[in-house]
A and B are shown apart, each in its own frame.
Chain A
Amino acid sequence: MKVVAKRPESLMDKPTHYCPGCTHGITHRLVAEVMDEMGIREKTVGVAPVGCAVLAYEYFDCDFQQAAHGRAPAVATGIKRVLPDNFVFTYQGDGDLASIGTAEIVHAAMRGENITTIFINNAIYGMTGGQMAPTTMIGQKTTTSPYGRDSKSAGNPIRVVEMLSTLEGSAYLARVGLFNNKEIKKAKKAIRKAFETQKEGKGFSLVELLSTCPTNWGMNPNEALDWVKSNMVPYYPLGEYRTPEGGDNK
Chain B
Amino acid sequence: MTDKILMKGNEAIAEAAIKAGCRFFFGYPITPQNELPAYMARRLPMEDGVFLQAESEVAAINMVYGAAGAGARVMTSSSSPGISLKQEGISYMAGSELPGVIVNIIRGGPGLGGIQPAQSDYLQATKGGGHGDYRLLVLAPQSVQEAVDLTTEAFELADKYRNPVMILGDGMIGQMMEPVEFGEEISPEDLPKKEWATVGNKDRKPNIINSLSLQAEKLEELNIRLQKKYEKMKEEEVRVETYKTEDADYAIVAFGSMARIALSAIERAREEGVKIGLIRPISLFPYPDQVVGKVAEQVKFMLTVEMSCGQMVEDVRLAANGRCPVYFYGRSGGVVPTSQEIYEKIMELVRGEKE
- Enumerate chain A interface residues (CB-CB to B < 8 A): 41-45, 47-48, 54-55, 57, 60-68, 71, 74-83, 86, 103-104, 106-107
Q: Nearest B residue to A75 by beta-carbon distance?
A: B66
Interface residues of B in 262-290 (CB under 8 A from A): none
In the complex formed, the residue of B with least CB distance to A43 is: B200
Contact among A63, A79, A103, A104 for B67, CB-based, below 8 A: A79
Contacts of B250 in A (CB 8 A): none
Contact B62 A86 (CB under 8 A): no
Give every chain A residue within 8 A of B24 (Cβ-Cβ).
Answer: 78, 81-82
Query: CB-CB < 8 A to B66: which residues of A?
Result: 47, 65, 67, 74-80, 82
Of the candidates B74, B201, B202, B211, the one having the most CB atoms from chain A within 10 angstroms of its own CB is: B201
**How far, in whole Å, are A223 and B245 apart by their CA atoms in the complex?**
79
The reply to whether A103 and B59 contact each other, CB–CB distance below 8 Å, is: yes
**B200 and A45 contact, CB distance less than 8 A:** yes
Judge whether A86 and B59 touch: CB under 8 Å. Answer: no
Residues of B within 8 A of A48 (CB): 210
Contact with A along B206-227 (1 / 0, CB 8 A): 1111111000000000000000
Is there an interface contact between A81 and B67, defined as CB atoms closer than 8 Å? yes
Question: Restricting to B224-269, which residues have a CB under 8 Å from any CB of A?
Answer: none
Task: Given A62-B201, A64-B209, A68-B89, decide whether A78 and B62 contact each other with a Cβ distance below 8 A.
Answer: yes
CB-based contact A81/B88 at 8 Å = no
Bound-state CA distance A42–B199 (Å) is 9
**Residues of chain B lying within 8 A (CB to CB) of residue A41:** 201
The answer, among B64, B70, B96, B208, for a CB contact under 8 Å with A83, is B70
The answer to whether B67 touches A78 (Cβ under 8 A) is yes
Q: Smallest Cβ distance from A121 to chain B, in angstroms?
A: 22
List the B side residues contacting A81 at CB < 8 Å. Answer: 24, 50, 52, 63, 67
Q: A45-B70, A60-B206, A78-B74 are in contact. List 19 more A-B contacts (CB 8 A).
A: A41-B201, A42-B201, A57-B210, A64-B198, A64-B208, A65-B65, A65-B209, A67-B66, A67-B92, A68-B88, A74-B62, A74-B66, A75-B62, A77-B59, A78-B69, A79-B198, A80-B66, A82-B71, A103-B58
- Please give the distance in Å from B234's CB to the nearest CB on chain A: 28
Which residues from chain B sit less than 8 Å from chain A, CB to CB? 24, 26, 50, 52, 54-56, 58-60, 62-72, 74, 88-89, 92, 96, 198-203, 206-212
Q: Is the CB of A83 within 8 A of B199?
A: yes
20 contacts between A and B (CB under 8 A): A42-B201, A48-B210, A61-B201, A63-B199, A63-B208, A65-B210, A66-B208, A66-B209, A68-B62, A68-B92, A74-B65, A75-B69, A78-B26, A79-B66, A79-B67, A81-B67, A82-B66, A103-B56, A103-B58, A107-B59
Complex Cα–Cα for A42 and B200 (A): 5
Residue of B nearest to A63 (CB): B198
A57/B69 contact (C-beta < 8 A), A74-B63, A79-B198 known: no
Q: Are A66 and B59 in contact (CB under 8 A)?
A: no
